Amino acid sequence: MAKSDLHSLARDFAARLSNLLNKTVCNGIRLNASVEPGTAVVVVSNESKRQDLARTAGVPICHRGKAKLHLTISVRLALDDFSEYLMVVSSVMALSRAADGSGELLHYDYERHKEDGYTEAHLHVCACSDEWSALLPDTPLKKLHLPVGGWRFRPTLEDVIEFLIVEGLAEGRAGWQEVLDQSRLEFQMIQLRAAIRRHPDVAREALAKLEKEEQAKLAQ
């Protein structure tokens, strides 16, 4: 099996996310792909010059001509076990009031094979709740790891963009829904292929069942 070029794949990934942002809620945004020092990992983010690539400068999300929110995107990428396909090692998608990340509102975290007992894909909401404070007086709501599905079909940038537009936090560009639908479908197909590679027996069983059902319909 031929080995792939990680940096080339990561640049293509950065270009795809940039295109998605610019066709929905941004204008002229360009995400970069930078090698993480001392590792075989490439980081895709809005800023490639800072030493700390885990949290980078946010991209402005405008509403009525003003940037009221900033979206931080940082995705750490590596090649999969077969050195062929791109694999997300970890990612952060955060919404903040300021570009430097201050005034954070929420963030989605994903960490492949997370070892501290928390779910690999989770959400942090930076808010206060009297009910949660009464239940967990020593743990602020923003510290809770709210599960958001497994690592295969976790929330994506498309979901965050849709949330921003639907809730009136950003102005969607013309045709934004079609762009999101197509981009989301592409991601789902990639994840589906990966799931099939991991579980070929399940895929063969499902296809065999489908074939029998189709044959039964034709025989009616």
User: How do residues 6-63 score in pLDDT, each as one tens digit?
Assistant: 999 999 999 999 999 999 999 999 999 998 888 889 999 986 454 444 456 799 998 8
Query: Length of the chain in residues, anyone?
Result: 220
Residue 23 lies in a domain: yes
Convert the pLDDT of each residue in 187-216 to its tens digit. 999 888 888 888 999 999 999 999 888 888
Please give the Cα distance from 124 to 96 (Å, whole number): 12
Residue 179 lies in a domain: no
pTM of the model: 0.88
Please give the Cα distance from 141 to 29 (Å, whole number): 32
Residue 46 lies in a domain: yes
**Domain range spanning residue 152?**
6-174
Residue 188 lies in a domain: no
Residue 155 lies in a domain: yes
Q: How many domains in the chain?
A: 1
User: 179-207: string of b/e by CB count within 10 Å (b at 16+)?
Assistant: bbeebbeeeeeeeeeeeeeeeeeeeeeee
Residue 191 lies in a domain: no
| Mean per-residue pLDDT, 162-175 | 96
Please give the Cα distance from 105 to 102 (Å, whole number): 9
Residue 43 lies in a domain: yes
